[in-house]
Structure 1
Amino acid sequence: MRFLLLCLLLIGLPVAAEVYTYIDNEGNRVFTDRPKPGNAKRIELAPSNAMSASPAPSPPAPVQAAPAAAPPAYQLLRILVPEPDATVRDGASGDLIVTATSEPSLLAGHNYRLLLDGQTVGEPSRSPVFPLSNLPRGTHQLAVEILDGNGRTLERTPTQPVHVLRISLEQKRRVKPCQKDEYGVRPECPLKDKPAEKKDIPYVPFI
């Protein structure tokens, strides 16, 4: 029991302390941290297996929520006239007026722009009305865009087809024949087609 208490005492000593042992006059083994002249021997202690306390983990950085996307400037942009897949019959002129609308109305600094068959028509403007003339007969593709002040596209309508029917000059001439004074005036009545005028034969009395 005495030896066990001594061992516990040794365990409790600081790592840097020195331990000595010797046999006293009564034959008992004594452990002490002070050297005793004579037969005291130093005891080599095993290195301590105590672990240094690890630093506490730092708290995780707060997760920053991604900024919410800005709502679109326009809730609606569409072509009012002509309707999708409409057929335009406009004689021989091939005229067409395209009209668009947006919600809300066009904001300050923004412009409309018309695309015909993928190509821009005219300059961007604040007017949603685009007059077209002399369109070739056949099917064409229409789209309208809204541009910001730097010319970047903010909104664009889906591309929609329109069919243009034009009466040929020959068909128009058949419907309304050319009159003598209309040659060189009506496109379907060129001067080269004007019939030659009959010359009056002078009357020669019979003798």
Structure 2
Amino acid sequence: MRHIPAIKVVAFLLGVLLAAPLPAQTVYRVVDEQGRVTFTDNPASGGDEVEVTPLPSVSSSRAAPKASAQAPQRRAPGRPFMPYDRFMIETPRDNTRLANPTTAVELSVSPRLRDDHQVRLRVNGEISQSALHSEAFWLANLPAGTHQLQAELLDSQGHVRHQTPPVHITVAP
């Protein structure tokens, strides 16, 4: 009878465990006496169980837009902080009307965003999305009405170096 070294058995079992899908973790919503809401994985906290669904994904890689005679002309965003030739919100387009309060915001950055630069998103002048090294963001639960979106380019020290032209969207009631 052949004996398998224990280290190989442990390595095999670890590999099987890592390859297996993990079950969803239960999350509980807890409201304290002051009305503050926190989330925990501790069922003893006395909170209500919350169903957590994964967020839809947005690809930041896009095909180049096709030229169209019907495409509206966008105003020039001004001269971006070098080394970028283009820095603007690609979708949603200006004056878009949304039936859903959740939308993707995708930027057009050319050339690609440098590793030491980040982008943050403002909605109605307020920071909505923290600075990320990304050209795509999700906005969720926008209230009905008109909103102004604007992205800011931050350099490696976190200083705002450029802003996109504002884009206005309307969320239908």
Structure 2 length as normaliser, TM-score? 0.51
Q: Match for 2:93 among 83, 87, 92?
A: 83
Measure the CA separation in 2 of the matches of 1:139 and 1:84: 11
CA contact 2:90–2:107 (8 Å) conserved in 1: yes
Code of the aligned partner of 1:127: S
Matched, 1:132 2:139: yes
Which residue of structure 2 lines up, in the alignment, with residue 98 of structure 1? 105
Q: Calculate percent identity across the aligned residue pairs.
A: 30
Which residue of structure 1 lines up, in the alignment, with residue 117 of structure 2? 110
Measure the CA separation in 2 of the matches of 1:129 and 1:74: 17
Q: Match for 1:151 among 139, 152, 158?
A: 158
Alignment deviations for residues 155-175 of structure 1 (CA, whole Å, 9 cap, x no partner) = 210112111113xxxxxxxxx
For 1:13-92, list aligned pairs within 5 A.
72-90=82-100
Measure the CA separation in 2 of the matches of 1:125 and 1:113: 6
Structure 1 residue 112 displacement after superposition: 0.9
Provide the secondary structure at the position in 1 that maps to 2:143.
coil
Aligned length: 93
Q: Match for 2:129 among 122, 143, 148?
A: 122
Measure the CA separation in 2 of the matches of 1:127 and 1:72: 18
Alignment deviations for residues 117-168 of structure 1 (CA, whole Å, 9 cap, x no partner) = 00111311111111111111000000111101111112210112111113xx
Measure the CA separation in 2 of the matches of 1:162 and 1:85: 5
Provide the secondary structure at the position in 1 that maps to 2:152.
strand
Structure 2: tracts of 5 or more residues without a match: 1-80
Code of the aligned partner of 2:87: L
Structure 1 length as normaliser, TM-score? 0.43
Measure the CA separation in 2 of the matches of 1:96 and 1:80: 13
- Larger relative strand fraction: 2
Structure 1: tracts of 5 or more residues without a match: 1-70, 167-207
Code of the aligned partner of 2:154: L
Structure 1 residue 78 displacement after superposition: 0.9
Measure the CA separation in 1 of the matches of 2:93 and 2:129: 21
Question: Highest CA radius of gyration, 1 or 2?
Answer: 1
Measure the CA separation in 2 of the matches of 1:139 and 1:122: 18
Provide the secondary structure at the position in 2 that maps to 1:158.
coil
Alignment deviations for residues 163-198 of structure 1 (CA, whole Å, 9 cap, x no partner) = 1113xxxxxxxxxxxxxxxxxxxxxxxxxxxxxxxx
Measure the CA separation in 2 of the matches of 1:127 and 1:158: 18
Measure the CA separation in 2 of the matches of 1:137 and 1:160: 16
